Amino acid sequence: MDALYRDYILDHYKNPRNFGTLEPHDLEHHDHNPLCGDELGVHLITDDQGTITDLRFHGQGCAISQASASITSEELVGMKVDEIPDLSAEWVFELLGIPISPTRRKCALLSLKVMRGATGGDASWPE
């Protein structure tokens, strides 16, 4: 078993959950990793209470960034829009469950960055 490319990481990479687009959608954001050029966008549908009822990521990236989007997407559906800005880098790393080296940090965090942008929060790199 590979410590980084674990079975479930590769599964999410090869068969990403909640990938594609949603038309129409209520919220959206698109961003990229300037280091590598990888791109990720998100479409969100919310209800009257501000709950995320559906979500789709789209774009291209490495196994870590794609698995991060896929794995977090399963947690994000059902969350309140105003909860998103408080999600931390650590929240992502725990969900991923793999060691993230400094050079792969932005790969893992691009999806949260995009979510923060979509939900009106600070779209800088999560701490």
Partner 1 sequence: MSAVRPTLDVRADFPVLREGPGAGERGLAYLDSAATSQKPDAVIDAMATFNRSSYGTVHRSVYKLAEHSTELFEGARTKAAELVSWEPETTIFTANATAAINLVAYTWARQNIGQGDQIVLTQMEHHSNIVPWQIVAAEKGATLRWLHVSEDGRISLEELDQVLAEGNVRLVAVTHVSNVLGTINPVAEVAARARAAGAVCLVDGSQAVPQMPVDLHEVGADFYAWTAHKALGPSGLGLLHGRRELLEAMPPFLGGGHMISQVGLESSTWAELPGKFEAGTSAITEAVGLGAAIDYLNDIGMDAVRAHEADLSAYALERLPEVEGLRVFGPAEAEARGGVISFEVEGIHPHDLAEICDRGGVCIRAGHHCAQPLMRELGVSATARASFHVYSGREDVDRLVESLHDARKVFAL
Q: Is residue 16 near partner 1 by the rule CB under 8 A?
A: no
Cβ 122 to partner 1 shortest distance, Å? 25
Instruction: Compute φ and ψ for 63, nearest 5 degrees.
Output: -60, -40
Query: Beta 52-60 vs 27-32: how paired, if at all?
Result: unpaired
Nearest to 28 by CA among 14, 11, 45: 45
Instruction: Compute φ and ψ for 59, nearest 5 degrees.
Output: 140, -165
Q: Which tokens sit at 90?
A: 């650590």
Question: Considering only residues 70-109, where is the footprint of partner 1 by CB under 8 A?
Answer: 104, 107
Choose the binding region for partner 1 from 29-37, 43-51, 76-84, 86-94 (rule: CB under 8 A): 29-37
**Which residue of 20, 23, 24, 35 would you call a contact of partner 1, by CB under 8 A?**
35
Q: Which residues bind partner 1 (CB under 8 A)?
A: 2, 4-5, 10, 14, 35-39, 60-64, 66, 104, 107
